[in-house]
Amino acid sequence: VLPEERSRHLLGIGEVYVPKPEPSERPFFYVLTVFALYALGTLVVARWELWPGTHWQWLAVADIAFAGALNYSSGGGFSQLRFAFLFPVVVVAFRGRPLATAAAAATSTVVYLLQAFPHPSRSNNGALSFALVQAAYLTWLGLALVLLS
């Protein structure tokens, strides 16, 4: 078995055994609608460069906030949207300096934990350890992105 197949099987097994709460649909679709409008707005800004300069840092802050809101409304720490916390860190790694990347990575990790701990899914068995492992992954990937930037 190839190494990538082993990791795929391992991730698949983890997804089967980790309890996942049902998403609360109404708040999720409200947040998703606002996020879609935000995404269209940023597309317009990027296309026509309405705000030249360094305003992209604020977009990273908004991306992290939306990742937190979408994640919380779709299952908390167990949501598959937890991977959205990496997107702003990757963007900052390619656009900014290492210190900005480290700040984005730390902020993403803290926001992930802040939305995971108060979520009702925390009552599931193993929720705390799962959230801490995910935070460790975010931290580790953030460190790699700091070295890349």
Q: What is the pLDDT of residues 18-27, one digit of tens each?
A: 555 555 567 8
Place of tokens 């959205």: 84
Handedness of CA 148, 115, 68, 99 (dihedral sign): negative
Q: How far is CA 93 from CA 43, 57, 147, in A?
A: 20, 11, 9
Give 35-77 pLDDT, tens digit per residue: 999 999 888 877 776 555 566 778 889 999 999 998 888 877 7
Higher per-residue confidence, 93 vs 2: 93
pLDDT average, residue stretch 124-145: 87
Rounded to whole angstroms, how far apart are CA atoms 95 and 42?
16
CB 140 within 8 A of CB 105: no
Paired tokens of 54: 């360094």
Compute φ and ψ for 24, nearest 5 degrees.
-85, 105
pLDDT given for residue 1 in this prediction: 47
The pTM (predicted TM-score) of the whole model is 0.73
The DSSP letter of residue 130 is H
pLDDT given for residue 90 in this prediction: 93
pLDDT average, residue stretch 78-105: 89
Residue 10 pLDDT greater than 80, yes or no = no
Paired tokens of 88: 């702003």
CB 46 within 8 A of CB 85: no
